[in-house]
A = this chain, B = another copy of it.
Amino acid sequence: MMRQKIFLFGDSITEESFSDGGWGASLADLLRRKADMVLRGYSGYNTRWALKVVERVFPAAEEDGRDSPAAVTVFFGANDACLPERCSGFQHVPLDEYKQNLRSIISFLKNRWPQTAIILITPPPIDEEARLRSNEDIDLDILRYPYIENTTGLPERTNEVAGRYAKACIAVAEECHISVIDLWSKMQQIPNWQTECLWDGLHLSRVGNKVVFEEVAKKLKEEGIGAEDLAVDLPLIEDVDPKDPLKAFDEF
A: residues with CB less than 8 A from B are: 1-2, 15-16, 18-22, 24-26, 28-29, 32-33, 36, 38-39, 41-45, 48-49, 52-53, 56-57, 59, 63-66, 89-91, 142-145, 147-148, 234, 236-243, 245-246, 249, 252
Contacts and interface: CB of A to CB of B under 8 A. Distances in A.
Given A22-B25, A28-B25, A32-B41, A238 B49 contact: no
Contacts of A1: 56
A43 B1 CA distance: 18
Given A33-B41, A42-B234, A145-B242, 4 more contacts: A20-B26, A43-B237, A57-B234, A145-B240
Contacts of A48: 246
A241 B145 contact: yes
Nearest to A206: B20
Contacts of A42: 33, 234
A22 B49 CA distance: 32
A91 B245 CA distance: 8
A245 B32 contact: no
The A interface is mostly helix, strand or loop, or mixed, namely loop
Contacts of A145: 238-243
Contacts of A41: 32-33
A76 to B, nearest CB: 14
Contacts of A242: 89-90, 145, 147-148
A241 B26 CA distance: 34
B234 A56 contact: yes
A58 to B, nearest CB: 11
A28 B145 CA distance: 27
Contacts of A245: 49, 90-91
A143 B238 contact: yes
Contact of A15 (B15, B33, B91, B142): B33
A20 B18 contact: no
21 contacts: A16-B32, A18-B26, A19-B29, A20-B20, A25-B28, A25-B29, A44-B237, A49-B240, A49-B249, A52-B246, A53-B234, A53-B249, A56-B234, A57-B234, A64-B65, A64-B66, A65-B65, A90-B245, A144-B239, A145-B238, A145-B241
